[in-house]
Amino acid sequence: MSDETRARAAADAIWTAWSSGERIAELPAHLRPRDDAEGMAAQAALARHAGASYGWKIAATTTAGQAHIGVTGPLPGLLFDRFRHEPGEVLPSDDMHMRVVEAEFAYRMGADVAPDAGRDELLAAVDGLHLAVEAPDSRFTRFETAGSAQLLADCACAGRFVLGPDVPGWRDLDLSTWGTAVWINGAEAATGSGGTVLGDPRTALAWIAADLGRYGLQLRAGDVVTTGTTTAPVPVGPGDEVRAEFGRLGEVAFRFAV
């Protein structure tokens, strides 16, 4: 079996779980990616099923998150259009497995940027900053023990994503100290700051720009890059109302279906 055929077959298995709502213990041995590059190849092959993507997420941007899923660094994952939502929407809840939400800062690229671009060049290519909430998920029963290669094949636990308002004057803000909070059903559930994200969301953006180069990829104009959770992941369930607060920058609110 060629590497391309293996990647497509692995993507088929993951998509079957994704679309059915069932979970798998692990990919069959003959399809299981042997390294991160093979995991990313399977991730790319998912586009045959999931359709168009609009950017990237970054998983495990904290040491606690990395320890939780047994990896040594962050992981990139595609964001697919079909799982993108707007504030105020009611998100499906019948397919949730991880059952958490995360308040995040998301950059929108205004130009292509090479993987070896310097930080100033990278930030100059950014067209805007958005407030966002991710509801990550995994197709693996025990995502904590799946390993980096399989998690990459699984789009780094990409799930549903709510893209909130853009932030005027974002270039003048120090996001490393910017406070955030997540409220569930009117009660504060977690607080944090942009510093939780590799010390600074800009550092996370630089990380993924460089990391994609390992796989022959790069950030493109129009890509949205959500940089990782600013608080500990917050448990949610059907019917819950979610509000992520970002101080004077605004909020992102929605709820899950009962």
In a domain, 45, yes or no: no
In a domain, 91, yes or no: yes
162 — phi, psi (to 5°)? -110, 115
- pLDDT digit string (tens) for 45-61? 999 999 999 999 999 99
- pLDDT digit string (tens) for 203-250? 999 999 999 999 999 999 999 999 999 999 999 999 999 999 999 999
pLDDT at 120: 95
Confidence of residue 82 (pLDDT cuts 50, 70, 90): very high
In a domain, 157, yes or no: yes
Name 150's Cβ contacts closer than 8 Å, sequence gap at least 6: 26, 27, 32, 33, 39, 140
48 class by beta-carbon count within 10 Å (0-12 exposed, 13-18 middle, 19+ buried): exposed
9 — phi, psi (to 5°)? -70, -40
For residue 98, the domain's CATH number is 3.90.850.10
d(C-alpha 151, C-alpha 90), whole Å: 27
d(C-alpha 103, C-alpha 72), whole Å: 22
Q: Residue 78 has which token pair?
A: 């595609």
Q: Residue 136 has which token pair?
A: 């990550």
Which domain covers residue 207, as residue numbers?
52-256
d(C-alpha 96, C-alpha 43), whole Å: 20
CA dihedral 23, 25, 29, 34 (to 10 degrees): 90
Q: Does the pLDDT value for residue 1 go beyond 90?
A: no
Which of 206, 203, 219, 237 is closest to 55 using CA atoms?
Answer: 219
Number of structural domains (the chain) is 1
29 class by beta-carbon count within 10 Å (0-12 exposed, 13-18 middle, 19+ buried): exposed
In a domain, 212, yes or no: yes
Give CA separation, 120 vs 45, 51, 52, 132, in Å. 33, 33, 29, 24
d(C-alpha 41, C-alpha 96), whole Å: 25
In a domain, 41, yes or no: no
- pLDDT digit string (tens) for 6-49? 999 999 999 999 999 999 999 999 999 999 999 999 999 999 99
* Contact call for residues 146 and 25 (beta carbons, < 8 A): no
Q: Residue 157 has which token pair?
A: 């636990």
Sheet holding 187-193, edge to edge: 90-91, 251-256, 241-245, 179-184, 187-193
In a domain, 29, yes or no: no
In a domain, 14, yes or no: no
Confidence of residue 182 (pLDDT cuts 50, 70, 90): very high
* Contact call for residues 99 and 61 (beta carbons, < 8 A): no
